[in-house]
Structure 1
């Protein structure tokens, strides 16, 4: 449903806004009132011809913006690109208890002849605006195009009417057709006149050898990263223990540690205790702390001695990770993709080494898929014919209900011979 139409500097209109609302909207007026301009604005916003002559005199740009509200049923008939815009922008609202999705189309027309199109605020090519717009507005007039009159849409409309049953048959046919196309492309590649088979075999052998020398294992990069983090944690732990040991026992720079300073303080308190009784408990407390500090210093030293770590282990891990990263950049971004690429190269080498056998196998596959495709084409034709007959009956009944009992709606299905080319 068209919710609103905003126009600026278009022909005779400086600014205009139309909000049709739900149901039927009728615009009437005498000649020159601007009815055709509104139709022209809708044509422009749905991607049809718009040029600089449409710009109001005295301005260098004209713009048209239209807001469409769509429900779930409408979304089914939109092209995939339009549904993507709706999903990305996530603009929706609830009216009358029903969820409606908003699609905002805008177009700017410049004096230099250029135009700029947007869908939900994102700039898009004009042909995409036209494709989306053709599903949102259908202009009926004596000399206007109608979506129903575009023969390219007829099969698509019939398939949509046919529902899931027809869609399943069509999907099976498309899958078989794609498989047949892949087989024919594979045949053409092996039979290409410019293919130097021996040179290609040497290239494959060289690339396979390079990848095999890497000797990659699944999840190797993740395991190496975990090991690297572990080594880094151990390194930080060693630094902390060394700092603690230096603080307790001193270091090679002849800086006294805590135990040595506590020993000096203890001697001083022992001397003071000979003269003042209050120094005795202080001396005993410090004696306990001094002994504890010495025990801690000894245990820290033992812990450091027990930790074994190769000094170049981290360098080896980094070198291996870098080697893997280079291969990942060249072959798909993951070890899985590299291994899959290697398997593909090995299969390709085997096929080139046995080209005659492989081409014969492709011939058999092509014959089988062609037979399957021909059968599926028959199924699809029958399914479309049945859907067409149902549609004709339903439209005929609708026409009769409208008092047009003599009117007929027919779908002509032309079945061409299956092309094996």
Structure 2
């Protein structure tokens, strides 16, 4: 549940801090007062697209934060898998600057995609645009599958795997079933490539070793001079009569004598003795290296030739020896596959047939579920729609088999909800007959069904009352109130009937302050709520309007 919403410098809202409760909360106010900005803020917290246009004029940064509590196990597990779970609450933050947008969950920076994934467990947003989405049959199929639940999800996943495997087999069969001339050309090409790489007898790390050895040969004189100088310093003193080893030996003798008189020098004596042993080992190694050091012009030529070969192969097959060998492995596999194409095609056709059979079994199971549970969904939604003042409404489900031989990840049929508002009329596609008010009630009827099934704690309705008035408005209000039982529902509305049934009522209005427009949100008490309902009923606060508003409020709040 959304417990707190904090907004800073978002569009016309300079500062807002809302404490929210369970049950139905309504947001009302004049058109343009800023109600939609609050919905936009919630969308941002759920991973919606951020724009610098939302930044309040003159502000450097916009800030939106929501504090959520979660109890659903799936949501908790998702957050734990992402390393974002904290027991007390889920705190989601969006910061917007002219150049970037930052998303955070419990103080950790996350991607917009992660925010969407987490937000899907927290809030179900229903904006005005969703009325139009009902006009598209593709949306109907997703609604039915959502109603079916886990069984549909598992079957759809199986269909997706089958389609990928079927398409991959078909693509490979097409490649292998080309004309014989092209197949022969490819065999010759891949055979040449494999043989060329094999002939080079490349080994991983070889190029680095060759370059190191070449560098040593090219700098032989410099290397030899340095080694000779070090050797003579260690053993002969470079003409000064005393070598480094001699000097160190004399120092150790002096320190040993001194340590007999001052025992605290024993540690220094041991360190010098260790240094002597190490230096002696190093001198011995350098002596051996010096004796073995020689310049071989023919070896340098061999290295240059070998590096030139590696360079040519790199230009053709990869950026390095590892990539060349990987190319060789793929080319050899392709060569074997093409060379044995007839056998491979037969194998692929058998695999494709098995996958097709598996697809049909899963698709038929899904079709049966869609027929049975889809009709149940339509019947449940129809009952809710009738509760909304459309006593003669009919909502049915039409299932049509898809034509063609191609496999679809969505199954073998398309689904469309058909609607009739009037007695004696056959149900037809929503896009052809439903008015704006009817579409609102159809959507609310579907939401009423799904709110009982899912575990999303918070629902947001942004002007779901569009096109609704009269008796239907009261029916819509009562339905939203029932949906809010056991959940948190936030509703932006212009209907006094909906505002009257709410547990909490916020009034949104604009003021001008020092030549700036500022949106303010006020929690209404019993008195101010009556005045706002009067304004919504008649546009003024006349005695008749106030009396009507009080009656409307008393109807739903006895105490």
When the two structures are superposed, what TM-score results if normalisation uses the length of structure 1?
Answer: 0.54
Give yes or no for the alignment of 1:119 onto 2:112.
no
**SS of equivalent to 2:19:** coil
**Deviations 1:22-76, CA, capped at 9 Å, x for gaps:** 5246245553693624445347636479896x776x6589946243636474865
| Residue of structure 1 in register with 2:22 after alignment | 23
| Residue of structure 2 in register with 1:349 after alignment | 335
| Residue of structure 2 in register with 1:369 after alignment | 355
| Structure 2 spans left out of the alignment, 5+ residues | 217-224, 251-275, 407-559
**SS of equivalent to 2:330:** helix
**Deviations 1:140-187, CA, capped at 9 Å, x for gaps:** 47x452799586566566666766665444433322221101112223
| Residue of structure 2 in register with 1:290 after alignment | none
| Residue of structure 1 in register with 2:512 after alignment | none
More strand by share: 2
Go from structure 1 to structure 2 and tell me whether the alpha carbon gap of 1:409 and 1:41 turns closer, same or farther (over 3 Å shift): same
Aligned residues of 2:245 and 2:280 also touching (Cα < 8 A):
no
* Structural mapping, 1:101-120, within 5 Å: 101-106=90-95, 117-120=101-104
| Residue of structure 1 in register with 2:86 after alignment | 93
| Residue of structure 2 in register with 1:257 after alignment | 242
**SS of equivalent to 2:87:** strand
| Residue of structure 1 in register with 2:172 after alignment | 186
Deviation (angstroms), 1:381 = 3.7
* Structural mapping, 1:2-13, within 5 Å: 2=2, 3-8=4-9, 10-11=11-12, 13=13
CA RMSD of aligned residues (A): 6.4
Give yes or no for the alignment of 1:203 onto 2:202.
no
* Structural mapping, 1:108-257, within 5 Å: 117-120=101-104, 137-140=123-126, 143-145=128-130, 152=138, 167-190=153-176, 196-215=182-201, 220-221=204-205, 246=232, 249-250=235-236, 253-257=238-242
Alpha-carbon distance in structure 2 between the residues aligned to 1:62 and 1:134:
26
| Residue of structure 1 in register with 2:364 after alignment | 378
Alpha-carbon distance in structure 2 between the residues aligned to 1:119 and 1:105:
5
Go from structure 1 to structure 2 and tell me whether the alpha carbon gap of 1:261 and 1:132 turns closer, same or farther (over 3 Å shift): closer
**SS of equivalent to 1:19:** strand
| Structure 1 spans left out of the alignment, 5+ residues | 233-238, 266-292
Aligned residues of 1:9 and 1:63 also touching (Cα < 8 A):
yes
Go from structure 1 to structure 2 and tell me whether the alpha carbon gap of 1:186 and 1:63 turns closer, same or farther (over 3 Å shift): same
Go from structure 1 to structure 2 and tell me whether the alpha carbon gap of 1:418 and 1:69 turns closer, same or farther (over 3 Å shift): farther
**Deviations 1:319-376, CA, capped at 9 Å, x for gaps:** 89x959x9699659895x7655433312322333454554444334333322232223
Go from structure 1 to structure 2 and tell me whether the alpha carbon gap of 1:154 and 1:255 turns closer, same or farther (over 3 Å shift): farther
Aligned residues of 1:118 and 1:129 also touching (Cα < 8 A):
no
The one of the two structures with greater contact order (alpha-carbon pairs below 8 A, sep at least 6) is 2
Alpha-carbon distance in structure 1 between the residues aligned to 2:339 and 2:245:
79
Deviation (angstroms), 1:255 = 3.5
**Deviations 1:226-268, CA, capped at 9 Å, x for gaps:** xx9xxx9xxxxxx9999996456416x4332359979xx9xxx
When the two structures are superposed, what TM-score results if normalisation uses the length of structure 2?
Answer: 0.43
Deviation (angstroms), 1:106 = 4.8
**SS of equivalent to 2:239:** coil
Go from structure 1 to structure 2 and tell me whether the alpha carbon gap of 1:70 and 1:144 turns closer, same or farther (over 3 Å shift): farther
**SS of equivalent to 1:93:** coil
Alpha-carbon distance in structure 2 between the residues aligned to 1:107 and 1:303:
64
**SS of equivalent to 1:211:** helix
Alpha-carbon distance in structure 1 between the residues aligned to 2:165 and 2:86:
43
Alpha-carbon distance in structure 1 between the residues aligned to 2:365 and 2:315:
45
Alpha-carbon distance in structure 2 between the residues aligned to 1:128 and 1:298:
59
Give yes or no for the alignment of 1:416 onto 2:401.
yes
| Residue of structure 2 in register with 1:65 after alignment | 64
Alpha-carbon distance in structure 1 between the residues aligned to 2:96 and 2:338:
54
